[in-house]
Each structure stands twice: as structure tokens, then as C-alpha cells.
Amino acid sequence: MKTPKRYLVPEDFMADPSVHVFNDKLYIYPSHDWESGVPENDNGDHFNMKDYHVFSLDDVMDGKMTDHGVGLRVEDIPWAGRQLWDCDVTCKDGKYYMYFPLKDKNDIFRIGVAISDKPEGPFIPEPDPIRGSYSMDIAVFEEDGKYYLYFGGLWGGQLQRYKDNKALECATFPADDEPAIPSRVVQLTDDMLQFAEEPKPVVILDEEGIPITAGDIDRRFFEASWLHKYNGKYYFSYSTGNSHRLCYATGDNPYGPFTYQGVILTPVVGWTTHHSIVEYKGKWYLFHHDSVPSGGRTWLRSLKVCELQYDKDGKIITIEGLDE
């Protein structure tokens, strides 16, 4: 399906949007791409991300984007090393909690928490990262007063360095015919500052109920977890990374397992695809990014949005990425 798309911040390079409705407005929490001068590589060292801006919007396709300025920067965080990759924000009891991945001083990704009284920030970081946290690409889902945090990404996201929530001496990848490395999900503590349990794998099954394999690069998880609910079903969506698709699977609870359903967005210009899905004023929207404005440089990406639609059976109608 070809559908009208809108660039949201044409004057700057923003990516990896996490989007939520707070106080009847859409709030957008993207990562911020800067020209780093570092040659591009598979570890993502060229992504020089130093801060987060917070944006709001009250009309998706035509409204003015409000830039609320910097919500959090690397130098604000006591344990910081480098690279603030994508974040997400949720609200509980009038407080707003930002969960962010950041490499520590040993260049290992941890997940931190920063808190604000307002959805636009500024966010004040906790002095230490969440105990037992690792990897990146954060999404938070709330239901019935319980908050679930999804995370994980391969290659530069370091997920291949862990097994059963323990660090490995050497990174390992499964063989092509073995189950793919999964994303993780964990419930948060009541104070929103720690994991309430051991993170669990988010298993994606094929149509026969068999876990998707590592060699199935068109369907296996790579990064960019997101969860939303539609008509009583849980939709787990994600990026396939080096095959450049946004895909989704459905399940009966936030932990899964989830059964593969199809492609949300076909490849766009630029290496990475990262997104969020949100309902606003009776319509559903897909927020994502591409690298068209920067001339295809994968580390300088720009925010986009388009409407997302379902068919009568609840299947997401595939959106064509390259329709400019």
C-alpha cells in the first residue's frame, strides 16, 4: 500500500521515534543523529548521539511540531560513556519515566532511567543504570498497572554477547538452522527503577508453531521492539535489520510467544528501520525514519509518519517504504 508520508523535523536529523499520547497530545521521543566523522561500521560507531529532544504534535499529518528542547544529554548522566541510542517514556502516578540505553565507561550498553514531572522533560537521570540491564532499543508497554520493558538489538546492540541474562566471554551467533536470538521482555518494579524479574525471551514462531531461525533473515528479530494492542490482540513489531523490513507477530499476552504475521513496512532508503505504532484521534499511525533528506547516509536519518491500516481480520496492511 502506498500512503502519504510526512517528514516531521526536516531541519534536523532525528530517528528511532518512540511515540505516546500524554495529555491529549502526541509526544515524540527520538534519538538524535549527529555527523561524527567516524567511518561507518557494523557496530554503529558512526552514530554520534549526544542528546534527546522532545517533540509534541496535536495534528499528525498537518499540525505544527513543537520542539521542547533537550530532555536529556550524555553529560547529565553520571555513569555515561557514549552513544544515547533510542529511548522510550511512560507515565505512572503523574511522573514520567524515560528508559534509555547508553554505553558505560567500558563501552558496554546499559539501560538507565531518568524522571520528570512533565512529558516534555527535562529528565533527571538516576545515578546508576538498572541492575542486570544490557543491550538497547527500548520500548515500554503498560497494562492494568503493570509496566513491561522490551529491549535488545544485535551487532552494535550487543545482544549476541549475552545468554540467559549473563555476559559471555565471546559473542556468539546461532547457526542458520537454530532458533534466532530473541528480544527480551521484563516487568518493572513498582517504583519503576529496576527489573522485577529476570528478563525473558520474546519468542517469535512461524505458522507451524516453530521458533523462527537465525538464517530466516526476512522474518527473524534483529532490533527495534515495539508492542501495541489492537482488538484484544498483542502486536509485537520489530526490525529485521540487514534485510531492512519492519515485521510483526501477534500473541495473547505481553510475554508471548508471538506468531509471525507479515511485513508492516518494506525497505526504505537507509540501513536501519526503527518505529513505533500509536492510535490517536481514532486513527493508527506508523512513526519511522529514512535517510532520504541526507542523501542516503544511514547515520543521518529523518523522522517520518504515515497512517497505518488493518484489514477486516486484523492484519496490518503492508506499507511501501520506497514510494517517494
User: Where in the sequence numbering do the catalytic residues fall?
Assistant: 16, 223
Alpha carbon distance 3, 35 (integer Å)? 30
CB 289 within 8 A of CB 297: no
Among left, alpha and beta (phi > 0; psi -120 to 50; other), residue 61 is alpha
Amino acid at 156: G
Measured in degrees and rounded to the nearest 5, phi and psi for residue 11 equal -90, -5
Place of cell 477486516: 312
| Angle 274-278-284 from CA coordinates, rounded to 5° | 110
Other residues' Cβ atoms within 10 Å of the Cβ of residue 236: 29
Alpha carbon distance 29, 16 (integer Å)? 8
288 grid coordinates: 519511522
